[in-house]
A and B are shown apart, each in its own frame.
Chain A
Amino acid sequence: MSNHAKKAAEFLKDEERARWHDQSLWFLREKRDNASKSVPDWESLRETAHKIKRHTLANLPRYLEQFEENARARGVHVHYAFDGSEHNSIVLKILKERNVSRVVKSKSMLTEECGLNHVLQKNGIEIIDTDLGERIVQLLGEPPSHMVLPAIHRKKEEVGKLFHKYLGTEKGASDPTYLANAARAHLREIFLASEAGISGVNFAIAETGGITIVTNEGNADLGNSLPPLYIACMGIEKLLPYSRDLSVFTRLLARSATGQPISTYTSHLLGPQPGQEMHVVMVDNGRSDILKQEKFRKALFCIRCGACMNTCPVYRRSGGYSYNYVIPGPIGTVLAPHRGIKKYKSLPSACTHCGSCTDVCPVKVNLHDQILEWKAEVDVSGNLGFVKKSAMVMATIVLGNAVLLALVGNLARMIFRILPKPICNFITIWGRTRDLPDIPAKSFRKVYNERVMNEADHG
């Protein structure tokens, strides 16, 4: 069994929890549907968003330089990082030069991708994730299992136990409001004492050199307005040409992610506040390579809403950890293999190509088509596996010839009709959880030929 299949099977052993995980995420899908259906122009908005991203990525060098120039003019320090480790070095250097020992961070998939937390901790800097879900998984020592809801896989009793240990909440308390208030008080002191704040970036605007951050909790904004040093980290694909383009994306993002018409805070930062030092680190880390590949480049349109995960019937029933990559679900499946097709070869097969992901994606990434392309890459790179490859080669031979198909088919059907049902079920993987179909004595072509001959005889 492949990596994903094995982990998914494990996940499903706790049937009740799996069902709860599935239902929780489906609920988000339903909320997203209600929101999208309340916007008459929704499908046109998606098309426009797709075209804006396509245009921006086709002209990325120009827009990056324009952003850099405008941001610098506003007093922002702009850095380029070719890869993840460069990004980490840049951030570390900025913090070390200012003797920062503690930094607050708010949601950034990019910093997860680069492994920033680990590098800072190794160098003696305490880094505290401040989104409630991120803080929970940080205290648990686990990676996030969903892009937007990092702790979706944990129940409130488990969070209660965790907070009792680390935050001193009452033993056995599991009321979400009580626990969230405890986290608020705990993190508030940390915000006020921090020397630096780090956040991700949802959109960077070339026209102005400003950045836009989309949040519900308010932690990102405490992190970028209290400490004297603020570092924003972004993938280079986050660029948009004009401020006006935000009108399209702010209408799509929250609705797709959680079904909200907009997140609580849509923050537009166009330069440091007085007395503050602001840095933006623009990271490539393989994105320019993806852009070169026509089959896969649309994955860079992604605005990290998580809608594809919420709708994916496989993700909902396998959980984020089955994917073994910083981002799970459909978008994770099309991004991960760029980082090693051998390591992630099981991900493309964890897909039925139902196409639901592509239909919910606010920027119309052709997710399920790209997953199929990755299957082909897995084959071409020799990673399909002996069993699968031989089965397909044999199938092609048998299906390539009608006489051979009839022969093999007749034989197989005969065997399966003779063998008792329990044995048929036992010897096939299919038969583990399903019955085989009733095996007919004659194939269609036989039945049809007999009819044709019958009609011919009877004129």
Chain B
Amino acid sequence: MEVGLFIPCYIDQLYPQIGMASVAVLESLGVTPVYPRNQTCCGQPVFNSGCFKESEKLAKKFYTHFRGFEYVVAPSASCVHMVRHEYGNFTQNDPEFARLQSHIFELSEFITNILKVERLDGRFPHKVGFHQSCTGLRGLRLGTSSELNEKKGSKVRALLQSLDGIEIISLSRPDECCGFGGTFSIFEEAVSSFMGMDRLRDHQQAGAEIITGYDASCLMHIEGLIKRNKKNLRVMHIAEIIACAIS
């Protein structure tokens, strides 16, 4: 199976290892990732600042690179949410555009929902804090948010849980926002960091060694606070954990 591989702009520039881990994970599951060379960005940072017109240009560019793929996979729930839920603003009734919207998946979502893999054959003997980034959780519904009276649970969490030796710790606030929020992290920097420190403290008090999630932007924010405050924790994207566990 071939899939279009979308590597978000900030992962491309700042976290190439997450991109390579995503490639490794897909290949290990028998999927061939195809990386359109001239891809850049889904437009989310611009869109989330309110600049809809500008982000439309980036959406149209994204479409030119990824149309025609059976599936598109990205190690970023927020980017996938952008395409799936916000690209509707730009599609102008183009059925191919609509098709792209319904066939793009976050990496772990692709593994559980399309490849129908529920258990991974790998070992990761660590205490892990699972940060359920907001757009993935309440946007893509990758899990059940704590606000809702529903019992669906999280397939992504179950996937992680299947790794041998892993212990996913319990948080006092299981899905509170970390405070990254895109440009919020710059323009509301005081609140952003205050929120991030609260998340960090929660993970620390619960005994986490590693904080993971499906959005590297949140992890970048939390990691920044870890390093500044010299905390004894590290962050790993879910793709990195899986790649490490199955290798």
Contact of A409 among B13, B137, B188, B192 (CB under 8 A): B13
Q: Which of B217-232 contact A (CB under 8 A)?
A: 220-221, 223-225, 227-228
Whether the Cβ atoms of A12 and B194 lie closer than 8 Å is: yes
Whether the Cβ atoms of A4 and B54 lie closer than 8 Å is: no
| Inter-chain contacts of B45 with A (CB < 8 A) | 395
Q: Report the separation of the CA atoms of residues A129 and B112 in the bound assembly, to the nearest whole angstrom.
A: 56
B163 smallest CB distance to A (angstroms): 25
Question: How does the 8 Å CB contact mask read for B125-162 relative to A, with 1 for contact and 0 for none?
Answer: 00000000011011100000111111000000000000
Beta-carbon nearest neighbor of A403 in chain B: B38
Whether the Cβ atoms of A355 and B39 lie closer than 8 Å is: no
| Inter-chain contacts of A439 with B (CB < 8 A) | 14
Whether the Cβ atoms of A8 and B185 lie closer than 8 Å is: no
Contact of B50 among A314, A354, A376, A449 (CB under 8 A): A376
A229 smallest CB distance to B (angstroms): 43
A-B CB pair tally, cutoff 8 Å: 214
Whether the Cβ atoms of B12 and A33 lie closer than 8 Å is: no
Whether the Cβ atoms of A444 and B187 lie closer than 8 Å is: no
Cβ of A269 < 8 Å from any Cβ of B? no
Q: Which of A122-169 contact B (CB under 8 A)?
A: none
What is the total number of residues of chain A having a CB less than 8 Å from a CB of chain B?
75
Cβ of B123 < 8 Å from any Cβ of A? no
Contact of A349 among B19, B54, B184, B227 (CB under 8 A): B184
Contact of A313 among B35, B177, B185 (CB under 8 A): B177
A residues adjacent to B (C-beta < 8 A): 1-2, 4-5, 8-9, 12, 18, 22, 26, 33, 36-37, 39-40, 42-43, 311, 313-314, 317-318, 348-356, 358-360, 372, 374-379, 384, 388-389, 392-393, 395-396, 399-402, 405, 409, 412-413, 429-430, 432-437, 439-440, 442-449, 451
Beta-carbon nearest neighbor of A314 in chain B: B191
B residues adjacent to A (C-beta < 8 A): 7, 9, 11-17, 19-20, 23, 35, 37-41, 43, 45-46, 48-52, 54-55, 57-58, 61, 134-135, 137-139, 145-150, 173, 175-177, 179-196, 198, 220-221, 223-225, 227-228
B129 smallest CB distance to A (angstroms): 17
Whether the Cβ atoms of B228 and A399 lie closer than 8 Å is: no
| Inter-chain contacts of A358 with B (CB < 8 A) | 138
A144 smallest CB distance to B (angstroms): 21
Q: Report the separation of the CA atoms of residues A377 and B184 in the bound assembly, to the nearest whole angstrom.
A: 17
Contact of B16 among A36, A349, A444 (CB under 8 A): A444
Whether the Cβ atoms of A8 and B188 lie closer than 8 Å is: yes
B14 smallest CB distance to A (angstroms): 5
Contact of B188 among A350, A356, A413, A430 (CB under 8 A): A350
| Inter-chain contacts of A430 with B (CB < 8 A) | 185-186, 189, 224
Whether the Cβ atoms of B176 and A313 lie closer than 8 Å is: yes
Which of A33, A402, A451 lies at the interface centre, i.e. has the most chain B CB atoms within 10 A of its CB?
A402
Whether the Cβ atoms of A392 and B189 lie closer than 8 Å is: no
Q: Report the separation of the CA atoms of residues A334 and B165 in the bound assembly, to the nearest whole angstrom.
A: 46
Contact of A433 among B173, B223, B225 (CB under 8 A): B225
Q: Report the separation of the CA atoms of residues A379 and B46 in the bound assembly, to the nearest whole angstrom.
A: 11
Whether the Cβ atoms of A393 and B54 lie closer than 8 Å is: yes
Contact of B190 among A8, A413, A440, A446 (CB under 8 A): A8
| Inter-chain contacts of B195 with A (CB < 8 A) | 313-314, 317, 352
| Inter-chain contacts of B190 with A (CB < 8 A) | 5, 8-9, 12, 433
Known A351-B181, A352-B180, A429-B189; contact A392-B149, beta-carbon cutoff 8 A: no
A400 smallest CB distance to B (angstroms): 6
22 A-B residue pairs with CB within 8 Å: A12-B194, A33-B146, A40-B149, A43-B150, A313-B179, A352-B184, A352-B192, A353-B48, A353-B134, A354-B181, A356-B176, A375-B48, A375-B49, A376-B50, A388-B183, A395-B45, A396-B55, A399-B43, A402-B37, A430-B185, A434-B228, A437-B15
A450 smallest CB distance to B (angstroms): 11
Whether the Cβ atoms of B40 and A401 lie closer than 8 Å is: yes
| Inter-chain contacts of B23 with A (CB < 8 A) | 448
